[in-house]
Amino acid sequence: MIPKNFKYLILFVFAINTPVTIKGQISTKKYFVGPIIFEGNNSIVSNELKEILKLKEPQLWKTTEFNRRSLKLDAFNIRNYYISKGFLDVSVEESFNTQEDNSAIIIFNINEGLRSTVRSVIIKGNDSIERLQILRLLGLRIDHPLNLTGMSHNYKDLEFEYHRIGKLFFSMEHSYISGENIDLTLLIEEGPDTYIDSVIFNGLKEVDTLFVSRELAFNSGDRYNSERIQLSERQLFETSLFSLVDIIPSNSKRGNNWVNVNVDLRELSKRDLLIEPGFAHIPSSSSGGEPVSGIEGTIRLVDRNIYNTGIRLGLRSSIDLPIDALVNRGTVPAIFRSDLSLTNNWILKLRAPNTLKFFVDRGPELLRVDEPILRYGMEWTGIRRYSSQSFLRGGLSWTRIISDRMSFEQQAKEQQRSLSLKFRHRELDNLITPNDGWSLTIDSEIVGWLLGGTHDYYKFDFDYRNYKSLPQKRVFAFRTKIGRMDRLSEKSPYIPTYDLFYLGGSTSLRGWPAQRYLTKIVDEIERPVGGLIKVLISAELRMPLNSVFGMDFFIDGGILATSLGDLSEQVDYWQKGQGWNYGAELTISTPLGPIRFYYAIPLNSKKKGIFNLGVPYAF
């Protein structure tokens, strides 16, 4: 017989463990997100709100696992989004109902409240920066919705501007009375002008302080300037001596308007042997041809501070395997490249980043295995960086060129001396897989002329790209390229075939094999035909299917012409559909970048469609 007290103990233990067991059974059962319903969203449509949610409705075979944490976070995001639109008193309540098919119906109940509009802005204490500039930096506009979220985000821009003029202790507070029409008050405390006392270097082990101090755009005794601090950080990174650069102010014993500046550094190893396999856009054997998709294996030996001179020594060797060649010949021609470079950021006491490079490369002429072309020579380049997004680079080069198609006399004479100038500006969120932003590149070159050499001609290339983020993580991408080259005079030799413009392949006109948009038969062999004028337009709609796979739809159009008269004729044909292709590609995301399997169909052409492989994106 069980004692009475022991019975109560058993019942007590059972009562405690029963709800825990049930709860454990519920928590281990997984649910996926079903329909998402918004109630009370009179001003913002449901599809717009769904874009900011972490939890997503089912799409094809893609589902999202449901969890309450993400549900709470989504409700918070919806509230912040409404606040950014001027609904300052918005409230959002979330709920869900589980179904027998293991789905969860999610409901967001929204009480929008009044939409607040900026009626006036009163700014007090702004002695150093004008009112209109403050409004612009904060993104405030009269008779527009009050966006407190945006104003908080833009605060750092105003803070940077005050720090740029030495107001390091700047602060700002805002106040308003809730309502439909807002009279916003900004109270600014600029603080005193701040000056730099001592500059302190932290983390230096092998690098001499000389190589750090000469990169700084400020000195002890200067007024604090955030722009010069930022420039100093960038210049220190450009030395390639450090993996970490952080310049921050700290208190000084001299008083409130003086600060010490701490330069925190983490040194990279002096020498490195780097092995870098990956996907790449391989430069064409023709200097005017479009890059080709390929696999690249590179070995680099780097000495970042040779003999403590501040000069970087680099030895690089690579083997490139163009994938496009599989379509052309069924074999993959290897391209060998090697170079030795010496890079220095200074010429005497003038900061002028420059590189002297000796190079040699051997590859098939226009991807033909049986016709290799050898280039070797030297190149000097100097670069001027205007920001992390923009640079201007100029260079002088001398190149010897040897091909099996040349006679011995031609091989002895063939050389190029050129002057080049390149400008690039890009504002992209991601350099490998851009989703938003744009880039502009202008490339020009003069070969021969006063420099001498075998040939005399000029070349100009214009490249503009734009990427627009769309709902459901889709991206619309657009690219246009225009190129022009010609002899400098009628007496100049004709431009060699290995320098002409060519189109075709996975990075240009995808409906044609690499470099073979135009061809002709010579000695029973199909040869590519180049041009002196190039026009290329491409547009893509990139749609992710899940975290790994994606689908892209594209259209490409191109023109190759030999003169302005020929261009006019080609444009007429172009408007009728010649030189266009369309198609689709399946993309697979990998750690090395996206792989593309595409099928492209030429428009108004007897040629069949092409199935090919490309890496990474076409542009």
Query: Is 457 a domain residue?
Result: yes
Shared domain check, 151 and 134: yes
Give the per-residue pLDDT at 329: 52
Task: Round to whole Å and give the CA distance between 118 and 126.
Answer: 20
125 shares its domain with 218: no
Q: Distance between CA 499 and CA 487 in Å, rounded?
A: 12
**Tens-digit pLDDT profile for residues 4-17:** 444 444 444 444 44
- Bridge partners (DSSP) of residue 259 are 196, 251
The answer to whether residues 584 and 502 belong to one domain is yes
Q: How many CB atoms lie within 10 A of CB 29?
A: 9
Residue-wise pLDDT tens digits, 236-249: 999 999 999 999 99
Residues 213 and 359 in one domain: no
Residue 576 is assigned to a structural domain of this protein: yes
Is it the case that residue 281 has pLDDT exceeding 50?
Answer: yes
Residue 326 has pLDDT above 90, yes or no: no
Q: At which of 207, 232, 267 does a domain end?
A: 267
The reported pLDDT for the residue numbered 328 is 52
Q: Which two tokens stand for residue 511?
A: 């409906």
Kindly state whether residue 58 falls inside one of the protein's structural domains: yes
- Residue with the bigger pLDDT between 61 and 192: it is 192
| Residue at token pair 């880039």 | 439
User: SS3 for 364-395, per residue?
Assistant: EECCEEEEEEEEEEEEEEEEEECCCCEEEEEE
Strands 117-124 and 103-111: unpaired
pLDDT of residue 169: 94
- Give yes or no: residues 283 and 348 share one domain: yes
Cβ pair 451, 417 in contact under 8 A:
yes
Mean pLDDT (whole number) for 444-448: 96
CB 284 within 8 A of CB 314: no
pLDDT in tens, 148-195: 999 999 999 999 999 999 999 999 999 999 899 999 999 999 999 999
The residue behind tokens 């008193």 is: 89
**Position 431 confidence tier, pLDDT thresholds 50, 70, 90:** confident
Virtual CA dihedral for 529, 534, 535, 538, nearest 10 degrees?
60
Query: Which whole number is the average pLDDT over 392-414?
Result: 87
619 found inside a domain? no
For residue 539, pLDDT over 90 is answered with: yes
Residue 7 has a pLDDT of: 46
Q: Identify whether 100 is part of a domain.
A: yes
| pLDDT > 90 fraction of the chain, expressed in percent and rounded | 72
Q: How far apart are CA 226 and CA 502, in angstroms?
A: 47
| Mean pLDDT of the 74-87 span | 95
- Share of residues in the chain with pLDDT > 70 (%): 93
How far is 78 from 44, CA to CA, in rounded Å?
A: 11
From 189, 207, 242, the end of a domain falls on 189
Does the residue 387 lie in any domain? yes
- What pLDDT does 18 receive? 42
Share the mean pLDDT of the chain.
90
Helix and strand counts by DSSP (H, E) for the chain: 10, 29
Listed range (109-118, 401-410, 564-573) with the worst mean pLDDT: 401-410
Q: What is the mean pLDDT of residues 546-562?
A: 94
Among 567, 599, 570, residue whose Cα is nearest residue 586:
599
- Same domain (yes/no): 257, 277: no
Asked whether the predicted pLDDT for residue 368 surpasses 70, the reply is no
Q: Are residues 277 and 249 in the same domain?
A: no
Judgement on whether residues 124 and 220 belong to the same structural domain of the protein: no
59 confidence band (pLDDT: 50, 70, 90): confident
Residues 322 and 397 reside in one and the same domain: yes
Question: Where does a domain end: 65, 81, 111?
Answer: 111
Predicted local confidence at residue 327, as pLDDT: 54
**Beta 475-487 vs 533-544: how paired, if at all?**
antiparallel
What residue type is 185 in one-letter code?
T
pLDDT tops 50 at residue 324: yes
pLDDT for 502 beyond 80 = yes
Beta-bridge partners for 506: none
pLDDT at residue 9 in the model: 42
Take residue 411 and report the two structure tokens written for it. Answer: 């091989």
For the ranges 188-192, 321-325, 393-397, which has the lowest average pLDDT?
321-325
Same domain, 509 and 422: yes
Specify the range with the lowest mean pLDDT, choosing from 507-516, 523-532, 553-562: 523-532
What CATH code is carried by the domain that includes residue 210? 3.10.20.310
Q: Are residues 161 and 292 in the same domain?
A: no
User: Residue 412: its pLDDT value, please?
Assistant: 78
What is the pLDDT, as a whole number, of residue 526? 80
Residue ranges making up the domain that contains 483: 271-614
Query: Residue 545: what are its φ and ψ, rounded to 5°?
Result: -90, -40
At position 508, the amino acid (one-letter code) is: S
Please answer whether residues 167 and 194 qualify as being in contact, where contact means their C-beta atoms are separated by less than 8 angstroms: yes
Buried b (16+ CB within 10 A) or exposed e, 424-439: eebebeeeebbbebeb
Lowest mean pLDDT among 47-51, 263-267, 464-468: 47-51
Shared domain check, 408 and 537: yes
Q: Is residue 501 part of a domain?
A: yes
Question: What CATH number is attached to the domain comprising 571?
Answer: 2.40.160.50
Nearest CA-CA partner of 392 in 370, 417, 420 = 420
Contact 616, 585 (CB under 8 A): no
Domain count, the chain: 5
Q: With respect to residue 180, please indicate whether it lies within any of the assigned structural domains.
A: yes
